[in-house]
């Protein structure tokens, strides 16, 4: 049976959860999916690097918690060397889930590039490399004959990119509008319940929904990157980040929220793109007071939704979880499943051609 060796770059919540799934459900997944998964390398800012071509003992790796824990205690290094691990380890697939600077996509852009140049497939949950260097990295993957998958970069475990690409064949997409940031959505919901913006943000932070610095969510930077990904991947827009106008929710007041409620509306941070008559695409992020009967008005909490405008079906909405360790880890697994399906299809086609 086919088996794929993985290198996990970053061992925080998402990649750790993927390792837990492989550790606890590996045999069941192999029986169900038709291929096995083995982790042969892990790098982590806190734990260091561990490379074991015969397969890492995941019980040991997952048990490394608390101060002083290090891969150096188990034959690895206390200091991570992502470049060396990515370029030289025996992994077939590099799973990239590190922190990324939204300004330049680093260090994830380099992680992805090193892997593709080394002839390794890549899946990532990082928005930065896809939004800022997506075309460049996809072209590199194509030249190298490997896969570059990034389903989790927009709506976590909800496969909006893959569903749209596979299920909208034959349709013309006129654009989309969506709610793709659970933190801002939660804050607006709490403001509707009477809290001020800062109070709602603090509550979101206390619950773990918002970062210590919530500006990426509150000021719309997160949605801006996601809109760029969707516009380029699904509308072939060829846009850059500077082309996406951005306004966050910090300008929305409690009075605005109250007035919207009286008017039968609800504030949402909406990311959208539309194809113009000349074929160009206009895209942006802004808070909008939506009528209660609007398809996105009822989307709450961490749930995300994107409504696509199509020529033959009208509006089609994809909705599902937009955050969570398990959900995002599943997105990585779904990327690997897609890679396997593509490789299997290519192999079958080659056998037919050679018959």
At 245, list the tokens.
Answer: 């106008």
User: CA 190 to CA 126: how far, in whole Å?
Assistant: 28
Output phi, psi for 229, to 5 deg.
-60, -50
* Superfamily of domain covering 163-322: Dihydrodipicolinate Reductase; domain 2 (3.30.360.10)
Higher pLDDT among residues 53 and 101, named by residue: 53
CA atoms within 13 A on the CB side of 217: 23
The mean pLDDT value of the chain amounts to 94
Confidence at residue 215, expressed as pLDDT on a 0 to 100 scale: 92
Share of the chain above pLDDT 90, in %: 86
pLDDT above 80 for 192: yes
| Residues 119-151 pLDDT 10s | 999 999 999 999 999 999 999 999 999 999 999
- SS3 state of residue 14: helix
pTM of this structure: 0.93
Query: Tell me, what's the pLDDT at 355?
Result: 67
What 8-state DSSP symbol labels residue 158? S
- DSSP secondary structure, 310-347, as one string: ETTTEEEEEEEE---HHHHHHHHHHHHHHHHHHHHHHH
Q: Residue 347 — pLDDT band, cuts 50, 70, 90?
A: confident
What is the band of 99 on the pLDDT scale with cuts at 50, 70, 90? Answer: confident
Between residues 213 and 82, the one the model is more confident about: 82
Contacts of 236 (CB under 8 A, 6+ apart): none
Per-residue model confidence (pLDDT) at position 208: 77
CA dist 257 and 189 (Å) reads 9
- At 136 the three-state DSSP class reads helix
For residue range 169-190, list pLDDT tens digits in order: 999 999 999 999 989 999 999 9
pLDDT score at 212: 82
Confidence of residue 102 (pLDDT cuts 50, 70, 90): confident
Is a pLDDT exceeding 80 seen at residue 349? no
Say how far apart CA 234 and CA 173 lie, in whole Å.
Answer: 8
Q: If we measure between CA atoms, which residue out of 271, 264, 249 comes closest to residue 187?
A: 249
Q: What backbone phi and psi angles, to 5 degrees, belong to 26?
A: -55, -45
- Closest alpha carbon to 339 in 114, 33, 96: 33
**What pLDDT score does 348 carry?**
77
* Nearest in space to 7 (alpha carbons), one of 48, 38, 34, 36: 38
Annotated catalytic residue, options 226, 265, 268, 350:
226
d(CA 31, CA 33) in angstroms, rounded, equals: 6
> Are 291 and 264 contacting, i.e. CB atoms less than 8 angstroms apart?
yes
**Better-predicted residue by pLDDT, 76 or 349:** 76
Q: Known catalytic residue: 127?
A: no
List beta partners, residue 37: 4
Name the residue ranges covered by the structural domains of the chain: 2-156+326-354, 163-322
CATH of 2-156+326-354, one of 3.90.280.10, 3.30.420.10, 3.40.50.720, 3.40.50.300: 3.40.50.720
Q: What is the average pLDDT across 25-43?
A: 96
Residues 255, 271 contacting (CB under 8 angstroms): no
User: Can you give the pLDDT at residue 260?
Assistant: 97
The confidence score (pLDDT) of residue 321 equals: 87
Question: Angle CA(63)–CA(66)–CA(70) in degrees, nearest 5?
Answer: 70
Q: What is the pLDDT of residues 2-17, one digit of tens each?
A: 999 999 999 999 999 9
């Amino acid at each position: 049976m086919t088996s794929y060796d993985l290198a996990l770059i970053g061992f925080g919540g998402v990649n750790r959860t993927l390792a837990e799934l492989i550790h606890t459900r590996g045999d069941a997944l192999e029986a169900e999916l038709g291929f096995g998964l083995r982790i042969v390398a892990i790098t982590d800012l806190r734990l260091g690097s561990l490379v074991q071509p015969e397969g890492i003992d995941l019980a040991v790796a997952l048990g490394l918690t608390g101060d002083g824990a290090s891969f150096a205690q188990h034959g690895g290094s206390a200091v991570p060397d992502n470049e060396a691990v990515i370029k030289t380890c025996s992994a077939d697939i590099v799973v990239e889930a590190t922190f990324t600077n939204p300004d330049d996509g680093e260090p994830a852009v380099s992680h992805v590039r090193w892997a593709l140049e080394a002839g390794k497939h890549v899946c990532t949950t990082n928005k930065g490399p896809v939004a800022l260097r997506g075309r460049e990295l996809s072209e590199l993957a194509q030249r190298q004959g490997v896969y570059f998958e990034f389903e989790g970069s927009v709506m976590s475990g909800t496969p909006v990119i893959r569903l749209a690409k596979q299920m909208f064949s034959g349709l013309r997409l006129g654009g989309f509008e969506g709610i793709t940031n659970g933190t801002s959505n939660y804050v607006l919901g709490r403001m509707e319940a009477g809290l001020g913006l800062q109070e709602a943000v603090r509550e979101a932070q206390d619950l773990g929904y918002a970062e210590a610095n919530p500006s990426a969510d509150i000021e719309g930077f997160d949605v801006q990157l996601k809109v760029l990904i969707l516009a380029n991947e699904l509308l072939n827009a060829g846009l850059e980040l500077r082309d996406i106008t951005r306004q966050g929710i910090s300008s929305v007041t409690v009075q605005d929220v109250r007035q919207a409620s009286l008017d039968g509306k609800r504030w949402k941070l909406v990311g959208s793109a539309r194809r113009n008559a000349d074929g160009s695409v206009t895209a942006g992020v802004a808070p909008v007071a939506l009528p209660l009967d609007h398809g996105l008005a009822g989307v709450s909490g961490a749930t995300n939704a994107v409504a696509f405008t199509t020529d033959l079906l009208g509006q089609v909405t994809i909705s599902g979880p937009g955050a969570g360790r398990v959900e995002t880890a599943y997105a990585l697994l779904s990327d690997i499943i897609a890679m396997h399906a593509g490789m299997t299809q290519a192999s079958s086609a080659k056998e037919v051609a050679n018959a």
